[in-house]
């Protein structure tokens, strides 16, 4: 486990997170006369959906095929517990009332739930056998986000046989947290006292990010291998999943990547402008897929995997692009690829490079 500690940094980060969390409350208030209200790509923060129960997933949906827990027991270096600070109580209340969540987001105890703003935590199959290796997933939350809020998604991936390194630093904007996670995983893999010793397969690595973290993985995909080559020469990014991605540097300095990329957006997005995500998607030259999700919000990815399409989309895409799993491949490759017919998705597209697979 990699941690850095700074009371001052943690306090500043907590204040920044508070302003972000209170922004939806301000947006929900009546608009001043004469001032336009930007409601994002769809939906409105004034709408309060409460808990959204999607019921039994359709058989021909990603959720119906990839949202169930995997067969592997999961071990973790941090356990998500109740978020008991004022900032996180406000955060979770807003998330539940305005984002349709059924699950109350949990916390690992980092800022803004605690003072420590940065670190790396791992979730992995608890039954890794001697000599067994597993693909690595480097995962990042968004700006101002406590990393424990993505614990359900991380556990879902770990239960399906992936080693998940959750990297975070409160800002999570340009990808330094992803670099830190890859370096920390390298150290853990070489540490004989670590439960991950000798188990991390860096040649099969995926990067997953939500919100600002989504923008970060798109930015880092084309540079992280070269950047970390002196530390981890085996690092090979095979898959990139950007969930409700933020703009990062708006794509102006993004280097091309050859990693297959999935970009997922919500139909009720109000925080990460969909047109900016689309502009970044349109610049991708690697095989790329675009998927809109129905009855979803910016924070839907935080919910139980069985109750949202994000976990299934993430797992299926990594299974396809990292493991070349036949069942997953049918959803993304070929002329009749299943993703296009998923009733819980809309505006599904893939680029020419993906068409050629």
- pLDDT tens, position by position, 317-354: 999 999 999 999 999 999 999 999 999 999 999 999 99
**What is the total count of domains within the chain?**
1
Q: Is the pLDDT of residue 57 over 70?
A: yes
Q: What is the pLDDT of residue 47?
A: 52
- pLDDT tens, position by position, 209-240: 999 999 999 999 999 999 999 999 999 999 99
Give the integer Cα–Cα distance in Å for 257 and 268: 29
Q: Is the pLDDT of residue 18 over 80?
A: no
Backbone angles phi, psi at 146, to 5 degrees: -75, 130
> What average pLDDT does the structure give for the chain?
88
Domain-embedded: residue 135: yes
Domain-embedded: residue 131: yes
Q: Is the pLDDT of residue 51 over 90?
A: no
Domain that holds residue 139: 2-28+43-355
CATH number at residue 170: 3.40.50.1820
Element (H, E) at 168: strand 163-168
Domain-embedded: residue 36: no
Domain-embedded: residue 38: no
Strands, E, within 86-161: which ranges?
118-125, 134-140
Enter the pTM of the model: 0.86
Q: Is the pLDDT of residue 27 over 70?
A: no
Domain-embedded: residue 324: yes
Domain-embedded: residue 33: no
Question: Averaging pLDDT over each range in 16-20, 52-56, 172-176, which range is the top one?
Answer: 172-176
93 confidence band (pLDDT: 50, 70, 90): confident
**Maximum pairwise Cα distance, the chain:** 67
Q: What is the pLDDT of residue 20?
A: 37
24 confidence band (pLDDT: 50, 70, 90): very low
Q: Is the pLDDT of residue 40 over 70?
A: no
Domain-embedded: residue 19: yes
Domain-embedded: residue 37: no
Handedness of CA 139, 142, 147, 149 (dihedral sign): negative
Q: Are strands 288-293 and 261-266 parallel, antiparallel or unpaired?
A: parallel
- pLDDT tens, position by position, 104-146: 899 999 999 999 999 999 999 999 999 999 999 999 999 999 9
61 confidence band (pLDDT: 50, 70, 90): very high
**HSE-CB for 321 with a 13 A CA cutoff:** 29
């Amino acid at each position: 486990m990699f941690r850095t500690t700074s009371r001052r940094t943690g306090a500043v980060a907590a204040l920044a997170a508070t302003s972000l969390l209170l922004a939806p409350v301000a947006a929900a208030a009546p608009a001043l006369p004469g001032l336009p209200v930007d409601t994002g790509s769809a939906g409105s923060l004034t709408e309060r959906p409460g808990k959204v129960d999607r019921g039994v997933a359709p058989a021909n949906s990603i959720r119906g095929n990839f949202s169930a827990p995997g067969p592997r027991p999961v071990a973790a270096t941090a356990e998500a517990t109740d978020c008991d600070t004022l900032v996180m109580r406000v955060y979770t209340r807003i998330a539940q009332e305005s984002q349709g969540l059924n699950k109350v987001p949990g916390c690992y105890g980092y800022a803004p739930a605690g003072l420590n703003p940065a670190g790396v935590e791992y979730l992995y199959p608890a039954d890794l056998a001697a000599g067994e290796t597993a693909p690595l997933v480097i995962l990042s939350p968004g700006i101002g986000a406590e990393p424990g809020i993505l614990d359900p998604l991380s556990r879902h991936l770990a239960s399906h046989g992936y080693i998940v390194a959750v990297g975070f630093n409160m800002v999570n904007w340009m990808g330094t947290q992803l670099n830190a996670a890859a370096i920390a995983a390298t150290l853990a893999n070489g540490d004989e006292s670590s439960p991950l010793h000798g188990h991390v397969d860096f040649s099969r690595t995926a990067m997953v990010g939500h919100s600002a973290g989504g923008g970060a993985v798109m930015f880092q995909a084309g540079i992280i291998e070269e950047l970390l080559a002196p530390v981890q020469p085996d690092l090979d990014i095979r898959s990139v999943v950007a969930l409700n991605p933020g703009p990062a540097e708006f794509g102006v300095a993004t280097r091309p990547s050859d990693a297959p990329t999935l970009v997922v957006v919500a139909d009720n997005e109000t925080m990460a402008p969909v047109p900016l995500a689309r502009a970044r998607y349109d610049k991708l030259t690697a095989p790329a897929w675009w998927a809109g999700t129905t009855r979803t919000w910016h924070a839907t990815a935080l919910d139980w995997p069985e109750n949202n399409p994000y976990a299934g989309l993430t797992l299926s895409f990594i299974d396809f692009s990292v493991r070349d799993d036949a069942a997953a491949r049918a959803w993304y490759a070929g002329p009749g690829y299943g993703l296009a017919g998923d009733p819980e998705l809309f505006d599904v597209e893939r680029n020419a490079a993906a068409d050629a697979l």
